[in-house]
A and B are shown apart, each in its own frame.
Chain A
Amino acid sequence: QKEVEQNSGPLSVPEGAIASLNCTYSDRVSQSFFWYRQYSGKSPELIMSIYSNGDKEDGRFTAQLNKASQYVSLLIRDSQPSDSATYLCAVMGSNYKLTFGKGTLLTVNP
Chain B
Amino acid sequence: EAGVVQSPRYKIIEKKQPVAFWCNPISGHNTLYWYRQNLGQGPELLIRYENEEAVDDSQLPKDRFSAERLKGVDSTLKIQPAELGDSAVYLCASSLVGTANSPLHFGNGTRLTVT
Stretch of A11-19, A64-72, A74-82, A98-106 lying at the B interface: A98-106
- B-contact 0/1 string along A41-59, CB 8 Å cutoff: 0111110010100000000
Query: Would A46 and B42 count as touching, CB distance under 8 A?
Result: no
Task: Say yes or no: is B91 at the interface (Cβ < 8 Å to chain A).
Answer: yes
Contacts of B14 in A (CB 8 A): none
- B-contact 0/1 string along A23-47, CB 8 Å cutoff: 0000000011010000000111110
Residue of B nearest to A30 (CB): B100
Query: Would A43 and B100 count as touching, CB distance under 8 A?
Result: no
Choose among A43, A46, A96, A97 the residue that contacts B91 (Cβ–Cβ < 8 A).
A43
Task: Say yes or no: is B109 at the interface (Cβ < 8 Å to chain A).
Answer: yes
Expressed in whole angstroms, the minimum distance between the Cβ of B105 and any Cβ of chain A is 7
CA distance A31 to B48 in the complex (A): 18
Task: Say yes or no: is A92 at the interface (Cβ < 8 Å to chain B).
Answer: yes
Count of interface residues, chain A, beta-carbon cutoff 8 Å? 23
Task: Say yes or no: is A108 at the interface (Cβ < 8 Å to chain B).
Answer: no
Choose among B40, B42, B106, B109 the residue that contacts A101 (Cβ–Cβ < 8 A).
B42
Task: Say yes or no: is A1 at the interface (Cβ < 8 Å to chain B).
Answer: no
Residue of A nearest to B50 (CB): A96
Knowing A96-B98, A96-B99, A97-B48 touch, does A46 contact B105 (C-beta < 8 A)? Answer: yes
Expressed in whole angstroms, the minimum distance between the Cβ of A1 and any Cβ of chain B is 16
Task: Say yes or no: is A21 at the interface (Cβ < 8 Å to chain B).
Answer: no
* Among A43, A45, A92: residue with most chain B CB under 10 A: A43
Contacts of A103 in B (CB 8 A): 40-42
Query: Would B104 and A43 count as touching, CB distance under 8 A?
Result: no
Choose among B41, B45, B107, B109 the residue that contacts A97 (Cβ–Cβ < 8 A).
B45
Q: Which residue numbers of A lie inside 8 Å of B, CB to CB?
A: 4, 31-32, 34, 42-46, 49, 51, 88, 90, 92, 95-103
Q: A43-B108, A46-B103, A46-B104 are in contact. List 12 more A-B contacts (CB 8 A).
A: A31-B100, A32-B101, A34-B104, A43-B106, A45-B106, A46-B105, A88-B42, A92-B100, A96-B56, A96-B98, A98-B45, A101-B42
